[in-house]
Structures are given as C-alpha cells and as structure tokens.
Amino acid sequence: MTEFADRWGLGPEKYWLRGALPEEKVRFSEEVGVWEVSGYPEVLEVLGDSGSFSADSTRLFDVDEEQAKLIKGDMAQMEGPDHLHMRRQVGRAFSPRRMQDLESRITALGSRLADRLAGRDRFDLLGDFVDDLSGILFSELLGTPPEQRHMFKAVDRTMDADVQMSTVDGGGEEYFDSLLGPLLPLRDFLGEVIDERAAEPRQDLLSLMLEFRYLDGRPMERDEIINFAVAVLGAGHLTSPILIGNTMLCLESHPGQAARVRADRSLVPGMFEEVMRYFTPATTSYRASLTAVEVGGVKIPEDQMVSLHLGAANRDPRQFPDADTFDVGRAPNQHVGYGRGAHYCVGAAMARVETRVIFDLLLDRFPRLRVDPETPPVFFGSPEFTGVRSLAVRVD
Ligand code: HEM
C-alpha cells in the first residue's frame, strides 16, 4: 500500500496515502494546538454545522488592521447570508452556458499551446503547457490582460510555502504573514485592473464584483475585491493543473486503469473524481469552533482551530469500499475533495470542464503520453496540498 507514496517520493506526513489512518478520528495535536479531524463522517459533521464552526479561521488570532485589509472580501472566510448572496453572484461566472463557452475556448487555446510542443520528445506537462493554459483562462475569467498572467506566479509561491497552521506561540500570525506577504505585487496589479473595470465594466468576474452589493446595499470596497480575486486565484488557478498532474501519476502507477480510460474516454470524468478521492489535491481545510461541540463523540471546546483532513476522509473505509484501490469506474464516489456544504468549491464546474477537455486534448495530440521515468515529479511544498508542481512527461 505504501508503494504508490514511495514510488513518487511522498513522505510519512501524507499518512492517508500509506494506509495509516489514525484510530482516533478526532484528536488534539499538542504540537500545533489544533484539532485534527480525519474520518469521513466526522469531516461531514463539521462541514455541515455552520452554527458551531466558522470558516473564518482568522477570528482566533490577533489580526491587526493591516492584516484584516488583506482578508476582508475573501468568500472562503465569510459566513452567513452575505456569503450565500456573494456565492450566487459569483456563480453567474460558472453558469452552464459559460461552461459550454469555456469548453470550446479551452479546445482552441489548448490546440494552439500544444502546437508549440510539436517535435519535442519530452516536456514539463505543468510548466510547459497546463499552467500557461490555466493562466490564460484565469486572466479571461477575471478580466486581467492575459499577457500579464506571469503576475499570478505569486500564488505558486504561497502554495510552495512550507508553513504549518499553529495556534502555539504566535504560529497563527506567522502562518498568515507568510501566506499573505508574497501576494503584495499581485494585489497592486489587481487593484489597477479593478480601477480600469470600474471606469469601463466588461463581462468578467471583476466587473461582476464591482456590481455586487452586500445585503445592506453596501458595494464591495476596492481592497475587498482584490482579496476576493486573490482567493479565487489561490483556490483555482493551480488546482486544476495539479489534478491533471496527479492523474498522470495515478495512471502511471495503475496501468490496467490507464488502459481502461484510453479504450473508453467516457470514463474520463469518473476518473478525475477518483483521482480527487484517491490522490486528493487540496488535503486540508480549516474551521474555528464557535461553541463547545461534539464531533464523532469527542468534545471540542469553544474557540478552537480545527483542521479537516480531506485526503484522509477520502480514504475512509467506512465510506469507500476498498478505499485504497484506485478504480476509475468507482460509483458512488461522494468524495470531499471539493469540500461540502456552505463552502463547497464554487469553481468545481470549471475544474471539471478544464481537466476533462485538457486531458482529452492531450491524449489526442500525444497518444504515447507518459511520465518520464528518469525525472521524478516535484510537489508543492505546502502541507495543505498534495500536488504536482512540475512533471516531466515523454511523448515519443
Ligand atoms: C481540482 C481543482 C480544485 C480543487 C481540488 C478545489 C478544492 C476546493 C475545496 C476543498 C474547497 C472548500 C474549502 C473549504 O470548505 O474550506 C474549495 C472552495 C473554493 N474553491 Fe475550489 N477547488 C478547485 C478548483 C477551483 C476553481 C477552478 C476555482 C475558481 C475558478 C475555485 C474556487 C474556489 C473558491 C472561491 C472557494 C471558496 C468557496 C466558498 O468559500 O464559498 N476552485 N475548493
């Protein structure tokens, strides 16, 4: 069972990839002062109880005015009716109609970018292809100039930051500082584009947010829209590329499953759901307890940081028969890789279209696409993700 993790060089901290799920599904880690929830039903208990758990994990820390300016407007940290109201507005950018347009846009863009790789026998699947494609798509989604997509690289740096959420000895403040610091140039850039859109709105997500009014009629402040956009980029810009990279590793390790998918492309959407479960990219989410509450029979006191191990929940045998088996035809497959409940991933529809269309295009253009056995994959350093940052592939 450790074969998969060992083969790709993933260490013991990714315990769920090694069949080492803890007996205690809800436990307090003294080391970091955080409650860890690793079982599937227990994770659902937390995600389904917004009365007892808040997504605003900053409320447990002494966030100063400067730091607060960097957080307000991030919907992942919001709660209640305004959060729901904002999700509705954002959802307009991911409507079925928009997703249809996206499909043809990706096909056209992807073909153009794949042309640039003609004649090469190997390349970096992420760095030479998928990341760039995603950069253009996110520029178009937000409404920023695509030629300035290199500005999004700041997000790569936060995903590479090897910092652990901790409530011990100012660990929380340090955690937020190290994640927010590298984003400052990106924030300035987004601010300028927001000013342009305020003068001349278009059909893009930044313009949609300029139109947005909170339930009390207040518009979003400039800083709030910046934070919103940074959060969308953080949540979505690299996660779909990661899912494609992780998929390549799963297929390489399971040749029988790879052959099934190549022979029957209708299995592709289900395959991605199975990679979301088996090799979950976004492995950790946080909530702060608002009151003393029991989860899985264990009492969590008020004002505690709770970390939800989504990757581990996705391997829970109480929910998934043969949980450690990779099966592209698995059904049902109610994984929590996109979260669940009030904060369920707002971009899941986009991620599903992106990954399916890009993967189909890759198989069409490069029928012999496979992981380069001579170059090990490089993973992002953040403990909250398990995702390929760079992946050498061969196509000859
Ligand atoms: C494979 C790709 C993706 C994965 C694995 C992923 C994962 C997640 C997860 C686990 C959550 C829930 C977090 C929580 O409850 O604390 C989430 C929320 C979110 N995701 Fe995604 N996501 C992906 C793609 C995207 C894309 C493409 C976008 C945007 C275009 C996006 C935007 C968001 C936003 C804004 C939220 C916060 C929603 C809220 O708090 O109401 N994600 N995502």
Q: pLDDT tens digit string along 102-136?
A: 999 999 999 999 999 999 999 999 999 999 999 99
The stretches of the chain forming alpha helices (DSSP H) are 3-7, 40-47, 65-69, 80-91, 96-115, 131-142, 153-159, 171-180, 184-199, 205-211, 222-236, 239-253, 255-263, 268-278, 310-313, 348-365
Q: Say which residues have a Cβ less than 8 Å from residue 263's Cβ, sequence separation at least 6.
A: none
Which residues have C-beta within 8 Å of that of residue 65, sequence separation ≥ 6? none
Q: Does the beta carbon of 345 lie inside 6 Å of ligand 1?
A: yes
> What is the b/e burial string over 205-232, where b = at least 16 CB atoms within 10 angstroms of the residue's CB?
bbbbbbebeeeeeeebeebbbbbbbbbb
Is the CB of residue 75 below 6 angstroms from any atom belonging to ligand 1?
yes
Mean residue pLDDT of the chain comes to 94
Question: Ligand 1: which atom is nearest the Cα of residue 342?
Answer: 41
pTM for this one?
0.96
Q: Is 46 in the pocket of ligand 1 (CB under 6 A)?
A: no
| CA 232 to ligand 1 centroid distance, Å | 8
Using one digit for the tens of pLDDT, what is the confidence trace for 286-344?
999 999 999 999 999 999 999 999 999 999 999 999 999 999 999 999 999 999 999 99
Question: Atom 37 (ligand 1): residue with closest C-alpha?
Answer: 76
Which residues of the chain are under the pLDDT cut of 70? Answer: 1, 171
Q: Which two tokens stand for residue 158?
A: 């936060």
State if residue 235 touches ligand 1 by the CB under 6 angstroms criterion: yes
Measured in Å, residue 40 CA sits from the centre of ligand 1 at: 19
How is domain 3-394 classified at the architecture level of CATH? Orthogonal Bundle (1.10)
Q: Which long-range contacts (CB under 8 A, 24 or more apart) does 333-337 make?
A: 333/270, 333/273, 333/274, 333/277, 335/273, 335/276, 335/277, 335/280, 336/40, 336/43, 336/44, 336/47, 336/310, 337/273, 337/276, 337/277, 337/280, 337/281, 337/282, 337/310
State the angle between helix axes of 255-263 and 268-278 in degrees (0 to 180), rounded to the nearest 10.
150
CA distances from 221 to 171, 179, 191, 212, 283 (A): 29, 22, 11, 10, 31
| Whether residue 346 has its Cβ less than 6 Å from ligand 1 | yes
Q: Which pLDDT does position 1 carry in this prediction?
A: 63
Confidence (pLDDT) at 2: 79
Measure 121 CA to ligand 1 centroid, in angstroms.
34
Atom 16 (ligand 1) nearest CA: 285
Q: What is the pLDDT of residue 209?
A: 97
Cα-Cα-Cα-Cα torsion 93, 98, 103, 104, nearest 10 degrees, comes to -120
The partner residues of 280 in beta bridges, in order of sequence, read none
Site to probe by mutation for ligand 1, drawn from 75, 141, 230, 345 as the one with most ligand atoms within 8 Å of Cβ, is 345
- What's residue 174's pLDDT? 73
| Cα distance between residue 227 and residue 312, in whole Å | 30
- Please say whether the beta carbons of 53 and 293 come within 8 A: yes
